[in-house]
Each structure stands twice: as structure tokens, then as C-alpha cells.
A and B are shown apart, each in its own frame.
Chain A
């Protein structure tokens, strides 16, 4: 119910994580660095040689000299192509390795999250991190980082080349830099939020359109056309406003860059011209410096185009790293339970202080017993189920198996003893075998087929690929009742002593639910079962029934006792049977 959010790494953590990611592969990083510099250096030849040619032409030269210089230029271009290729390739490989490390570490952190964290934070946030954030970082690392890095190297080398031509001209090249830095700083301070807002507004607009399409029938039935159009127009208005905002930022940035690009050219012509007229530099030097300045616009543009992307990449990176910062589960005490008796002693629980969901619940379930828990929504049934499964620790009181607190058990040990079955029947992308093996990695085909058969999943035998049939998108798509059977077959394989069923069949249509209940009967055989009942027939078949209302157990006894007692349960049972 409460939405505790997963942590996000702070700036310092992000910086050190980035550094770690880069230096884990130190030698490759140095190779990439060297190759990038070499390719940028080779790219400097063009204007330099044009300058030399101009000087030669001015001093009246032969075509042979010009030919030699031009041939050198071509050779440098070829060298630049080869160096760029190997630099890029090395960069690719380096990036791929870094990304693989990043995503694998992320998944391990996600898998290590304690169950209570997953329950409370919900899987939505984690899903976003797993899907869009990992992809965003991937794109940044693959596209933005190399482009920006190469851009910086090229920019530095070009300015360096002008300094080498003539230090004063080099200073001329830099005259716009302070202004450019200021404008860029101004822009970047605002751009990230503005583009995030734009992205969010776009997503909302697309989602709104999707909702209209998905809910088109509801729109017609409930005559919501005007509402939907009005709502969509409002989303368009909001999206438009964010676009205007980012456009305003670009309206400052773009002309500033253009002007910042023109000024050094003018300064170089004037200062270089004055030097030339005093015979301090050659015409070729002035021309070469001018050409470098023209070319400088490319790396600057590249940097500015990608730097915004890098910003969103670093925000996504902070969220990915944050998952590893979530508090770990408390270490299990390692005590071994004595038997499988479940005891709930005076348990209380609250998600929010002051809002008790459970109050003083005491129950004992002996091995092999079937207990049904019934009661209205919000009575605390599911919360009790989660405490029994060891996902949450009780606020007060104790939940023990064989005398040991469930939260003190090693997760693997706990799984061998207790399994919680909910309405969620997740079918994993992968083969049928993958989907079953998670419960029993060592099970052979025979055991898997036996488990499927036990729960009535006869369709599995008929699959063309057998256990290796792919399930989910692009493969066989199990329907709701087949998914449920898979979930149940996993239980047969996992073979826990105690099962907690939380409205396990309630989301299925009546027909599928009937099949599922039949399958379920096979799984329940010989186990302790605590069923949070949705339909009363489950209660009827149980050894004992506990009625929960407002966080307390109000009635406890066998079906017959309670039906005869004339309380809540009896009234309900009568209406259930149309009496």
C-alpha cells in the first residue's frame, strides 16, 4: 500500500561509480584514448597544408611542390580514416564491456533486494530502472560519450594547432570561449529540467492517446467523447508549453554559438592581418588559422548536441546505481526450525503509524492442517499472509515456524518450508523448462512432466517443442488458467511444507477458476494450507475457518461449528447458498 521508493545514488556516488566503471578496464581505456588523439591529430593536416600551399603559391612555386603537398594531405586523410576506424572500434568494444558490467551488476542488485523492499516499493519503479534507465545509459554510453569525447579531443587539437601556428592567433581563437562557456552553462542548468519536462509531457500525451484507444469502447458506452477530447487537448496544451520552453532555450543557445563562432574568425583576420602586414606571419598561416576556426564549429556543435543526452544518461545512471544502495535484508540467524508448526502470537502490524492493519492476532496451525481465512476486504488477510510467508516482519508479536521467527530463516530454507501463492502468475520469458527449473534446478524432464500432469496441464505434453518451447512474446502465450497451472506446477516441484494461498484463483473467469481449483487440489495434497479465501466453498472444505474483521480474528472454528454459531460466517454462508 505504502510506496516507499528505492534510493537514487547521489552525485558523489555517481562520480565514483563512473570512475570505477571506466578504470575496471584500464588498459582498454588508455588504448581508446591514444587512438582518439591520433585520429584527431591526423585530421589537422588539411588546413595546415592549405596554408603551406598558399605560402608556396605566394612565393611563386612549381606544380610539383604543390602536388607533393596535396598528396601529403590525401595521405593524412587516409590515415585519419584508418585511425578513426580503429579508434571507434576500440571505443565500441570498451563501451560494450562497460555496459555489460553495468547491466549485470544492476540485475544482481535487483535480485538481491529483500522481498519486503520489492513489496513496498512495488515493481513499477524497478521496472522503469530495468528497462528505460538501463537503455538510456546504454545509449548515452554508446553514442553521446564517444561523440563528446572525440569532440573535446578535436577541439583541443584544433586550438592547439592554431597556437602552434602562432600563439597570438591561438588567443584570438579563444576570445569567444568565455562567453560560450557562460551561455552553455546557462543553457545546461535549464536544459535538463526542460527536456525532462518535455519528455514527460510527450509520454503523457502518448499515454493519453493510448488510453483513448484502449478505452474506446468505454468512451462510447459512457458517452465520454467530449471528456476525452477535452482531456487530450489539455495534454496537448501542456506538451506544447514544454516544447515552447525548450525552443526558447535553443533560441538563445543556437544564435550564441553562431556568433561565438564568427568572432574568432574576424579577430584572426584582423590580428593575423596586422601581423602579416608587419611580415611577422605568412599569409598561409593566417589562412590556415581561419580554416581551423571554420572547422571548429563541428566539434562544438557535436558536443552541444550530445551533452544534453549525457545529462539524462547520468540521471538514469544515478537511478541504476541507487538500486545497489537499498538496505540489504537482515542476516538470517541460521537457527533450524524444530518441525513445521506455524505459530502467530499476538501479532500487530501497521503500514503507517497509527493505522493498525492487524491487532493482537493469535493463531496456531499444525502441520497438515487446512485453515481458511475469510473476511471483508481490508480486514488484514493479505497482510497476515505476507507475515506468514516471511516477506514482512510483524510490528509486534511473533510469527514462528518450529519455534524460529520466519524472518530469521535463511531465504532458501524459508522457501523450502513456506510458499505464498497470489493472483500474480508471472510467466517468465524463456522456455517452459526455464519456467519450471526455477523451482527445482536439478529436476529432470520426467519430474517436470509429472508436475505438469499433477496440476492438469495436459497441454504441455502436446507442445511441439516440449519443455523447450518458448513462452511469452514471440512464443507460446499461455492463457490465464495455463499460467496458473504453471505457477502450481512450480509449487509441486518446489515442494514446500506449507502453502499460503492469497485469493489465488480470483482473477480468473469462473470456468478457468474451476479448472484451476481442480489443479490446486493436486498441489495441496499432504501440505499445510492456509487459504485466504475468496469464495466460500474453499472455507467449507477447510479443517478450520478464521473470520477476520478490522485486523482481528473474530471467529475461529470448523465450518460446521461456525455455520451453527449464528455469527458473521453463518449469515454469509446462508446467503451464499441462496438460503
Chain B
């Protein structure tokens, strides 16, 4: 599937941000994280809205132990576990999804009991558990996430599994996020004044101080405050 790559998206975003804030210190990784977090959400909404097989990724799983296996990749947490699109075994044996607390009821009636002919699966803590059969191999179709927490394993030159028609919306949201981060005042940075105490401020800005719309004197005052706080910490440590 031809599409833009993450690398292209990163530089597209960085170019625009740097045009607005030339001195902003935004790394490629930072931009990458923003992009992944944003397009992940948009892709989830996109899949929820339509019935399309375009983003189902099939995996063949053969490491099934005691009827359970790890999900090959993280999936979207859709209603009714629809992040797992299907599980099928050779011979067209389809597994029916069930919600774990509802399993007990299945045993009340012969037609619904888990069996070789009537197998089930349920999702639990990143694992798939099978009921009724213990196959050696199954095919599983997943709606996988971009998972920005595992950026090191992402190939940024692979075509992006993301609808291009939503890219402009994603870009707008990413730029908003970037601009918001840049404009977060430096006074809100997480600078716990005294060691051992929780931080009093919530946000960490990525901006450079000179880029803020502050008077030079105000910047100096802020820097002096920071130096004073650091000195207090050192004094306390010395005592």
C-alpha cells in the first residue's frame, strides 16, 4: 500500500513548526511521538466508523501453550473486543468471541457449551485464551495500534498504515499540540524546589526562553528564581 512514511510526516511537521518558532528545540523523536499518538487516535476512530478490511493485519500464531498465547501486537480496545477481528483455524473452524465473566452461562445449554465444534476465545491482559480446542496454530486478524511507546521498533521508512485523506486533520492536531507545547510558559516547568517534595508545577516546556513573548527583564527574573531555588536545595543538602 503506497502511502507517506513516518519520516516524511516528521519532517513535514518539523518544517512547519520551525517556520513558526525558529528557536524551538523539538527533536525528531518528539515530533514522532506526537504524530504516532495523534494518528493512532484518528485511525481508531476511522476503523470504528466503517467496516473495512484494509487495516486488518493477519498473523499466524504457533506459540500456543495450554490454549493461550500472547497478542502478537497491541490492538485497539474496541467494544466487544473487535480489536481481534477473527481467529480461525485450518479447516474453517472459527472461534467465537466471549466476554470472560459470561463464560459460565455457556455451560448451561448443550448448544453453547465450548467444544471441539464450538470453540471460543476471550481476551485477557494482552493474551488470547481459547476454549473448547487446543490447536497448534491459528490465524488471527488484528486491528493493531501504532503504539508510540515502542518507537524503537518502528521502521519510519515503511508506508504509514493510515488513511491519507485524514492526514490533513492529523497534521492540524499535531501542529496544535506542538504549538501548545511550545507556548507553555516556562514558569510551569516541573521544577521541584526542594528535594524530596513533589513538583509544584505540572508542565515541562520544550521552548527556548528567548522564544517566549516575555520581556528580557522578566526572563532574567525567572532565571534568577530558578538559580535561587537551586541554591536553596544545595544549602539544604550541605546542612
Q: Do A and B come from one complex?
A: no
B interface vs A, CB < 8 Å?
A: none
